[in-house]
A = this chain, B = another copy of it.
Amino acid sequence: MTLDGGSRELLETDKSLEIERKFLVETLPDNCDRESYEHIVQGYLAITDDGTEVRLRRKGDQYFQTVKGPGDMVRSEYEIELTPEQFTALWPATCGMRVEKARYDIAYEGLTIELDVYHGELEGLRIAEVEFKSTTESTSFVVPRWFGTEVTKDHRYKNKHLALVGLHDTASIACI
Q: Which residues of A contact B (CB under 8 A)?
A: 1, 3-4, 6-15, 39, 41, 45-49, 52-54, 58, 65, 67, 69, 76, 78-80, 82, 85-93, 100, 102, 119-120, 173, 175-176
Contact A39 B78, beta carbon cutoff 8 Å: no
Choose from B39, B46, B49 the contact partner of A54 (Cβ within 8 Å).
Answer: B46
Output the nearest chain B residue to A77 by Cβ-Cβ distance: B93
B residues near A11, Cβ cutoff 8 Å: 91-92, 175-176
Residues on B with beta carbons closer than 8 Å to the beta carbon of A87: 10
4 additional A-B pairs beyond A1-B39, A10-B91, beta carbons within 8 Å, are: A8-B176, A10-B88, A13-B89, A80-B86
Tell me whether B89 and A39 are in contact (CB under 8 A): no
Cα distance A78–B86 in the bound complex, in angstroms: 10
Contacts A12-B176, A119-B1 given; does A67 touch B90 at CB 8 Å: yes
Q: Which residues of the partner chain B approach A54 to less than 8 Å between Cβ atoms?
A: 45-46, 54
Beyond A3-B41, A11-B176, A45-B54, is A78–B89 a contact (Cβ under 8 Å)?
Answer: yes
Number of copies: 2
Distance, CA A152 to CA B134, complexed state (A): 47
Q: Determine the distance from Cα of A111 to Cα of B9 in the docked complex, in whole angstroms.
A: 36
In the docked arrangement, what's the CA distance between A59 and B12, Å? 19
Give the docked Cα–Cα distance between A1 and B38 (Å): 12
* Chain B residues in 8 Å Cβ range of A47: 46, 48
Query: Taking the nearest CB of chain B, how far is it from the CB of A94, in angstroms?
Result: 9
Query: Is the pair B102, A1 in contact by a Cβ cutoff of 8 Å?
Result: yes
Which residues of B sit under 8 angstroms from A76, Cβ to Cβ?
93
Shortest distance between the CB of A134 and any CB in chain B (Å): 21
